[in-house]
Amino acid sequence: AQKVTQAQTEISVVEKEDVTLDCVYETRDTTYYLFWYKQPPSGELVFLIRRNSFDEQNEISGRYSWNFQKSTSSFNFTITASQVVDSAVYFCALGGGGNKLTFGTGTQLKVEL
Enumerate residues 52-71 that contact other proteins by CB under 8 A. 52
Q: Is position 8 an interface residue for other proteins (rule: CB under 8 A)?
A: no
Are 5 and 92 contacting, i.e. CB atoms less than 8 angstroms apart? Answer: no
Alpha carbons 57 and 73: distance in angstroms, whole number: 14
Sign of the torsion formed by the C-alpha atoms of 30, 5, 3 and 48: negative
Q: How many residues bind other proteins (CB under 8 A)?
A: 26
Q: Which of 16, 50, 63, 70 binds other proteins (CB under 8 A)?
A: 50
Alpha carbons 3 and 26: distance in angstroms, whole number: 5
Q: Is position 107 an interface residue for other proteins (rule: CB under 8 A)?
A: no
- Point out which residues bind other proteins (CB under 8 A): 4, 32-33, 35, 37, 42-47, 50, 52, 91, 95-106
